[in-house]
């Protein structure tokens, strides 16, 4: 996937945020795994895992290979970074989704739709089905 200047900027800001906020809280290996997880979300343009209206902390802990206790203690530090990534991925267009639009049974093909003729009457425009 090609990186735009916006994703490069966000990646750099998230990396700086991790260096400032995570390095004092975590051992170096855990901080590096969290940083890699967040940067992977940005590079793949994926939203963070969610459960209802909150983040799925259990899934995030599994993906970062952190214990339940470690992820619970780090939620307040990680959440701003996840919010920034979620805002970024919401506005990013997904070309694969646009190109793969499929017709469902409720949407007949254009040739199968009935034609509608529009005629001008005294009372205004009205449509007639053929």
| CA-closest candidate to residue 21, choices 89, 86, 84, 87 | 84
Higher pLDDT, 65 or 130: 65
| CA-closest candidate to residue 85, choices 31, 35, 32, 41 | 41
The residue count of the chain comes to: 130
Judge contact between 61 and 113, C-beta under 8 A.
Answer: no
Domain coordinates in residue numbering, the chain: 5-97
Task: Kindly report, residue by residue over 17-68, the tens digit of the pLDDT.
Answer: 999 988 888 888 988 999 999 999 998 888 899 988 889 999 999 998 888 8
For residues 3 and 44, what is the distance between their CA atoms, to the nearest angstrom? 10
Mean per-residue pLDDT, 89-105: 51
Beta-strand relationship, 124-129 and 54-55:
unpaired
Answer whether 0.85 is exceeded by the pTM: no
């Amino acid at each position: 996937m090609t990186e735009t200047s916006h994703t490069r900027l966000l990646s750099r800001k998230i990396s700086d945020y991790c260096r400032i906020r995570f390095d004092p809280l975590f051992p170096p290996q855990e901080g590096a795994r969290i940083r890699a997880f967040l940067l992977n979300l940005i590079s793949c343009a994926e939203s963070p895992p969610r459960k209802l209206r909150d983040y799925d902390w259990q899934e995030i802990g599994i993906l970062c290979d952190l214990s339940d206790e470690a992820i619970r203690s780090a939620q307040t530090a990680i959440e701003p970074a996840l919010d920034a990534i979620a805002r970024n991925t919401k506005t990013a267009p997904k070309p694969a989704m646009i190109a793969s639009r499929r017709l469902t049974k409720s949407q007949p093909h254009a040739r199968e739709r009935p034609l509608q003729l529009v005629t001008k009457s005294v009372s205004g425009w009205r449509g007639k089905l053929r």
